[in-house]
Amino acid sequence: MSTTPHGTDTGTDTPRTDAGTDSPVSGRTSARLPWGPAAATGIGSMPGEDAREAARTVTGTLESLPFLPELPARGPGADMTGRTAGLLVELYAHLEPSGWRLGDRPGRDTRRSRSWLREDLDALEEFTQGFQGALKVSAVGPWTLAATLERRNGQAVLGDTGARRDLAASLTEGLLAHLADVRRRVPGAQPVLQLDEPSLTAVLRGRVPTASGYRTHAAVDRAVVEGTLRELVSAVRVPVVVHSCAPEPPFALLRRAGVTGVAFDAALLTQREDETIGEAVEGGTALFAGAVPGVAPASGALSDPAGSVSGVRSLWRRLGLAPALLTESVVVTPACGLAGASPAYASAALAHCVRAARSLADNPE
């Protein structure tokens, strides 16, 4: 940052030598990414209902990669799904007892969602005067959104091929408008888009339940999932990070889809993912390692910063990757969003991520 702000894959996919070569943001990590080495950031959600306080905390703590905070405690429309539903173009959603459902026209739920987002952007704009650098914004990705949003009959969009295509196209158009608004409000920002895909592994494995709960939707073909993500990544033309806090994120699929980074809960990784993670890093994919707990530990205290990223160092040694690549390829984050934490802990966790990232730079081995 030039100016400090004020105030689930099994590893069996066959690697493709052309992976990501068409993406405007693919390639070796350090040469193409808008954030520098030893970076830290948050996932997206923050506790409380005060947009200005959340923006002040984020911009005051995270110099290399601040983000637009989300405040789900404010209620419907500020939650992950409702916030993204408000971005859709020519598709509208309203809240039913069962969840968010597509409707014919915008209603109060759509208006409330858009109002919350404007409030968040106003607060971010206030605390990023003169800002230059990478700035992360988040939205639910097309597959989790399809698994979460209901059609008019109460069934998930995921079960209708045509509805899925329409939803992905609407989301892409809405994200383009959102990114343009961010650039207008923060002219020095280089936007980074995070797609939250906690249901991606369930979509691939046929584990998304139907409305009755007695059956599950059929697994979606991996090539279809990959193609939809690749089209969105190509269309938005900014670095895209896919976040999944579920076990076994599909690293190989996401790498082929051209994403710039994959965000994950580091505690859920197993050695089964080592090969695909190594291929991703060698292909230029950044790893957003969720190494800091999203809520205060039972002991009440975080470990020392170096201890928080000891698992990342162990992974690097197992992969046999050059230590110098570690701080270029890894961004340190909380394990997931911080909405369930206290404001004091959320602030401390972000500061801890910064110190942990610096410890990787000081001692990559």
Under DSSP, is residue 349 helix (H, G, I), strand (E, B) or coil? helix
- What's the CA gap between 246 and 248, in Å, rounded? 7
- What's the CA gap between 289 and 353, in Å, rounded? 10
pTM of the prediction? 0.90
**Mean pLDDT of all residues in the chain?**
90
Buried b (16+ CB within 10 A) or exposed e, 240-273: bbbbbbbebbbbbbbbbbbbbbbbbbbeebeeeb
Provide the 8-state DSSP code for 101: E
Per DSSP, the residues of 66-105 read -B--B-GGG-TTSSHHHHHHTT-SS-EEEEETTEEEEESS
- What's the CA gap between 5 and 272, in Å, rounded? 40
| Mean pLDDT calculated for residue range 312-318 | 92
Amino acid of residue 294: G
Q: Which helix (H) or strand (E) holds 99?
A: strand 99-103
| Mean pLDDT calculated for residue range 26-55 | 83
Predicted confidence (pLDDT) at residue 104 exceeds the cutoff of 50: yes
Using 50, 70 and 90 to split pLDDT, how confident is the model at 299?
confident
CB 240 within 8 A of CB 233: yes
Using 50, 70 and 90 to split pLDDT, how confident is the model at 324?
confident
- Both tokens assigned to 101: 């459902």
- In the prediction, which pLDDT does 29 show? 41
Predicted confidence (pLDDT) at residue 6 exceeds the cutoff of 50: no
Backbone angles phi, psi at 117, to 5 degrees: -65, -40
Predicted confidence (pLDDT) at residue 241 exceeds the cutoff of 70: yes
Q: Which residue bears the tokens 């999203």?
A: 294
- What's the CA gap between 44 and 257, in Å, rounded? 23
pLDDT digits (tens, 9 = 90+) for 169-226: 999 999 999 999 999 999 999 999 999 999 999 999 999 999 888 899 999 999 999 9
Using 50, 70 and 90 to split pLDDT, how confident is the model at 32?
low
Using 50, 70 and 90 to split pLDDT, how confident is the model at 33?
confident
Predicted confidence (pLDDT) at residue 321 exceeds the cutoff of 70: yes
- What's the CA gap between 88 and 67, in Å, rounded? 21
pLDDT digits (tens, 9 = 90+) for 264-274: 999 999 999 99
- In the prediction, which pLDDT does 363 show? 82
Beta bridge partners of 194: 138, 241
Using 50, 70 and 90 to split pLDDT, how confident is the model at 4?
very low
- In the prediction, which pLDDT does 97 show? 93
Exposed, middle or buried, 234 (CB in 10 Å: 0-12/13-18/19+)? middle
C-alpha 346, offset from chain centre = 17
| Mean pLDDT calculated for residue range 292-316 | 89
- In the prediction, which pLDDT does 213 show? 82
